[in-house]
Structure 1
Amino acid sequence: MVGTGAIFWATALRAQTRDVLQIEGPAFGASWRIRIAAGADAGAIVSAVNGIVTSVDGAMSPFLPMSEISRFNRMETLEWVPLSAQTHTTIREAKRVATLTRGAFDPTLGGVAGRYGFGPMTQQPAGTFGDLELGAQSAKKAHISQTLDLCGIAKGHALDRIATALKTLGHASFFIELGGEVYALGHHPAGRPWYAGIERPEPQSAALQRVVAVDGEALATSGDRVNRFDFNGRSYGHIIDPKLKRPADTPLACVSVFAPQAITADALATALFAMGPEQGISFANREHIPALFVVRDASGLREVMTANFSTRIIG
């Protein structure tokens, strides 16, 4: 699996009818779900999705010793290392978002997360995202012990590939959920937009924080509701603060982000959560990123929306 603790934040709202076909299966320790007009070739869709999930897992899972990224991490070399197209694409976007966020998203900190129990990597990080060089179809470490952890972005890459596969199969309207991340295109067979529910970030809560319309874009959420633990009166979540090299200690409960591609929404949601509310909200406004910040304060949960996130809200 690409990562642990998949966050089940967003989902298609229950509206199963005989006009809608729902297909689902396992992925990355969580699940995938597709809703599409009845009559679609379910076998072709399942085959395409399973192939993508297996491919991404085999390339980027740190839990698989023989995955491409695990082998890259073990290599003690400063020479150029050839990469598959999918791993190269994912690292390139990871570096772009890392640069854009000034390191709030840093794919070289897997060892820090692992030492807190969030993943299999426990090596002391060597260097930063800026040290890693990318060639046309290769990468080169700046330190022989440098490692990469793509768990904060690989699921988004997989979601984008699933969306492309459905388009290639001739579908122009569908809803995909992959481990809590969503991509939707077109309209529900009933003629309305596709709706997604963002869960309220409270333990054991079944309530929704917001319902949004999704069309031609992705929605990703990062938070500490699921993948966390408490110790000596303090909570520790899986999202790392790159500046402090420890789990982010923030009043944020969750951050939801819209972006044209899931790979970007995935990484940005992680970065904005790591930044915390003040810096994250300022950054999202400055970069015109549609985001919903849910902040814990003395009165409970408080919402802040940036860019035009509010225009997607249904309820």
Structure 2
Amino acid sequence: MSKKSCEAAESIKDALLRMARVNCNFYLDLKGFLSMIIFKKLFAPIALLLCFTLPLSLTGCSASSAQPFSKTGFYFDTVISLTCYGNDAQTVLDEAFELCGHYENLLSYTKEGSDIWNINHANGQPVTVDSETASLLQTALYWSEKTDGLIDPTITPISQLWNFSGDPAGPVPKQSQIDALLPHVDYHNIRIDGNTVTLADPDAQLDLGFLAKGAIADRLKAFFLQKNITSALINLGGNVLAVGQKPDGTAFRTGIKKPFSETNELVDIVALKDQSLVSSGNYERCFRENGVLYHHILDPHTGYPADTGLSSVTILSDSSTDGDALSTSCFLLGYEKGRELIDSLPDVEALFLLSDGTIYRTKGFPQS
């Protein structure tokens, strides 16, 4: 490889690492897991994506142990990594990534022709969608009711107004702009009849980002088990789901990132066996203006970032769908009401990190 090629490869790797720090809440235990090099070329008419799959060795395992295989790519607007163990692992990983593409084609609100895109561009007309899309929308409405509307999948127009995904993000919208869009934020406008979905307000728009990655992680777990893969780790941009445990019987170790840490400092490390770990926080997609931090978790009642005294919420649960929805719900509810919600649910634990650095855990949340 030429010197210029080597320099280009290093630049790509550095860019990927910076992107991963922005998009991923969790840093995986690197024993037994080596991240693949990928890149997404930005600001081009066609985004280029390179995915490499290589067999990996597991530290501490005997030669007869199953070899892990890992594949990394860019889906759901974030870096994702899938690692699994087994004789057919590489083939199964390829099929799992095809499944990721399938769900992106269903659930992405930015991908033209997806179910969500079609609903958003139907001008209030009925749209026939895949049964899984309809089911996930029903789940979204369940959480909207559960949180008295703090979770609202029709927040999309205001989220876009804030431009948190821009480069640079921001600026802070004018109050008049927010006021003009708030009347269109109302989950009651979502009408579902079988596989037919209608937005009663033609100016409303959907985004299932608050639970889509969790739901897809659960689907991937079911797919792995169907393929007789009983040991795997799913990481969808920081939404982590362990399928079983490592072949040597040890847990998958996952770190909870300390918000705004420039040295990748961790709040804690959690050992996962057949469980999901999901965080939501004010540090994921955010910007500062005039010294004030503005983050992407918006209160649908005000159109502004939620100010609940929390910096992040981490949910430990069996269901990644629930974990994804609960992490956002609890952040919006604040510590007291969020803790009350978690305590009312079976097999769910939480770690609340307050803005002043105070940490609260529910009774069953482990401490390393």
> 1:23 Cα shift?
0.7
Greater gyration radius: 2
SS in 1 for 2:106: helix
Q: 2:229 aligns with which of 171, 175, 188?
A: 171
Would the alpha carbon gap of residues 6 and 56 (structure 1) be closer, same or farther in structure 2, given more than 3 Å must change? farther
1:31-76 deviations in Å (ceiling 9; x for gaps): 2223333534313322x22212211221221222332211211112
**Stretch moving more, 281-290 or 96-105:** 281-290
2:164 maps to which of 118, 127, 138: 118
- Alpha-carbon distance in structure 2 between the residues aligned to 1:105 and 1:193: 32
More strand by share: 1
Higher relative contact order (CA 8 A, sep 6+): 1
Among residues 2, 20, 28, which one is paired with 1:12 in the alignment? 28
Which residues in structure 2 correspond to 1:73-112 (within 5 Å)? 73-77=120-124, 80-112=126-158
1:257 deviation in Å? 0.8
Offset from partner CA, 1:113-143 (integer Å, 9 cap, x none): 11111359x9925251133222222223222
Which segment is superposed worse, 11-20 or 141-150?
A: 11-20
> What CA distance in whole angstroms lies between the structure 1 residues aligned with 2:345 and 2:235?
26
Query: Alpha-carbon deviation of 1:307?
Result: 4.8
User: For the Cα contact (< 8 Å) 1:23–1:33, is it kept in 2?
Assistant: yes
Distance 1:262 1:296 in 2: 25
99 and 119 in structure 1: CA distance in 2 versus 1, 3 angstrom threshold: farther
Asked if residue 65 in structure 1 is aligned to residue 112 in structure 2, the reply is: yes
Name which of 70, 74, 82 aligns with 1:23. 70
Counterpart check, 1:44 vs 2:92: yes
3-state SS, counterpart of residue 309 of structure 1:
coil
CA RMSD of aligned residues (A): 2.4
Contact kept, 8 Å, 1:254 with 1:273, in 2: the verdict is: yes
Q: CA deviation at 1:271?
A: 1.2
CA separation of 1:209/1:235 partners in 2, compared to 1, >3 Å: closer, same or farther? same
- 1:128-187 CA distances to partner (integer Å, 9 max, x unpaired)? 113322222222322222221112221112211211111111111222111101111222
Shift in Å at residue 284 of structure 1? Answer: 2.3
State which drifts further: 89-98 or 58-67.
Answer: 58-67
TM-score (norm 1): 0.88
Give the CA deviation at 1:237. 0.5
Give distance in 1, aligned partners of 2:77 and 2:247: 30
Secondary structure at the residue paired with 1:241? coil
Aligned length: 303
1:35 aligns with 2:83: yes
Residue of structure 2 aligned with 1:135, choices 193, 199, 202: 193
Gap runs ≥5 in structure 1? none
Match of 2:17 in 1: none
CA deviations on 1:247-277 (whole Å, 9 max, x unpaired) are: 1123311111123221221111111112222
Aligned to 1:309: 365
| Structure 2: unaligned runs, 5 residues or longer | 1-20, 33-56, 59-64, 167-177
Normalising to structure 2: TM-score of the pair? Answer: 0.76
Q: CA offsets, 1:76-128, max 9 Å, x none?
A: 23x543211221122111111111121221111011111111359x9925251
Distance, in Å, in 2 between the alignment partners of 1:66 and 1:187 is 38
User: AA paired with 1:129?
Assistant: Y
Tell me if structure 1 keeps the 8 A contact 2:311–2:354. Answer: yes
- 1:222 to 2:268 alignment: no
Q: Distance in 2 between matches of 1:127 and 1:109?
A: 5
